[in-house]
Each structure stands twice: as structure tokens, then as C-alpha cells.
Chain A
């Protein structure tokens, strides 16, 4: 994480003692997704629109709407993640390592209203967050 822009993305990475193919199933099969993430009608098909349903919380209906963006079994999976009227993108990367898989998740940007121009929006948002941190730093 030396890239200044990349630090503006939420990244979680863990090494798991399981083969990529098995983790891929847990990430893409609806009944398995429900066991660790949320109720869903997910399908690993590019363009498929799906809904994740969590328990509603105060001021939130618990619904996350998304669209599948990238499906490259068993190494890359990415989908849009829309909640509270704002879009973002969740990207999974599965890399084989000795004895298992390095699983990386990046939840990046909160672009919306820009559709296909996601890359530009993501850059804009990350740049903005960078400025934001400077602004907040100046408050303290």
C-alpha cells in the first residue's frame, strides 16, 4: 500500500488455507454467499443485477443493490455495491499461494450518477478523500 491513491480504498487481505476454486464458490454461489454475507439473488454473470438483503437498521432498509462487473473464475470478481443511494465497487482477487489462497477485497469509491465513467469518478473521489484528510487534519 505505497500508492497514495490506493490507501483511499478500503482493502482487506487474508491468506486462507483453502484452494481458490473453493473460495470462488463461497464468493459466487447464492446459498453460500447467504451463509457469510447476506441473503441475495446473486449470479456470477457479467451484467446481472442483484440485491443483497441485510436486516433493516434504523434509517436503512438493509438493501444493497449491485451489478456484476467482472467474472474471471477463480481469480477475479467485481460488482457494484449501491447503498443509501450511493454507488461503490467491491473487487475480489484470489491469488494462489503455497498451501492456499491470498484473498484480497477492495471496496473503493462512492461514485454515482456517472455510470460507465466509473474510473474517472473513482479517481475524483479518491482525490477528494485525500483533500478531505488534509482538511480534517487541519481541524485538530
Chain B
């Protein structure tokens, strides 16, 4: 679970990969060729980005003839959303502790 979260975060920390992922999520299945046309980087670079996204299970692919088609797998984002919720709980807890500390500082 944690390893999967790492993969998702790392995959999406790069703006080009984020853009590729967003495009797939928004516009549906596309070929590497079509993605390259709009990504502003070379086809090998797009393929490399897609490999990272695949490892994070953010995209999946299927072959049809000579073309490979990629599509977004938004379910993979679930651990990231949970992570944000975790940080919310973390900080609320630390705020409580900070308030306790401030009360103790009064006593000093």
C-alpha cells in the first residue's frame, strides 16, 4: 500500500507526466503517437513517462495492430486522497499538542 502510494506520488510529481495523465483522464484512450503530438516532447520521452505511469498503475495499455493504446486508471489515485486525509488528522493532532504546550508555557 505504502509502496503504491510512493509510486503514485513520484509518477505525478513531474509536470509532463501529470499533463499526460490528465489528458488521458479527460479525453479517454489514446495512442503514444497522439499523445506525443500534444506533449511537446519526443516520442521516446512520452513512452518513458508512460512506463512510469504504468508502474504506478495510473495507466494501462492494450495493443491493436502496430499501435499501443493507453488509458487512465483513476482508481490508482485513491491512496493519494487517503494520504491527504491522513495529513489532515496529523495536523489537527499537532495543533492540539501545540495548544497544550502553550498552556504549559503560561505556567513557566
List residues of A whose CB falls within 8 A of some B CB: 10, 12, 14, 16, 18, 22-23, 25-26, 32, 35-37, 58-60, 84-86, 103, 105, 107, 110-114, 121, 124-125, 128, 131-132, 135-136, 138-139
Contacts and interface: CB of A to CB of B under 8 A. Distances in A.
A124 B102 CA distance: 37
B92 to A, nearest CB: 6
Nearest to A60: B2
Interface residues of B, number: 36
Contacts of A114: 15
A58 B2 CA distance: 8
Contacts of B72: 135
Given A59-B3, A60-B2, A128-B18, A32 B101 contact: yes
Contacts of A113: 13-14
19 contacts: A10-B84, A12-B88, A35-B97, A36-B97, A37-B98, A60-B2, A85-B6, A103-B95, A105-B95, A107-B91, A110-B9, A110-B12, A112-B13, A124-B15, A131-B22, A131-B25, A132-B80, A132-B81, A136-B78
B30 to A, nearest CB: 16
A33 to B, nearest CB: 9
A139 B72 CA distance: 12
Given A14-B95, A131-B25, A59 B2 contact: yes
Contact of B88 (A10, A35, A86): A10
Contacts of A10: 84, 87-88, 91
Contacts of B106: 18
Nearest to A129: B84
Contacts of A112: 13
A35 B63 CA distance: 56
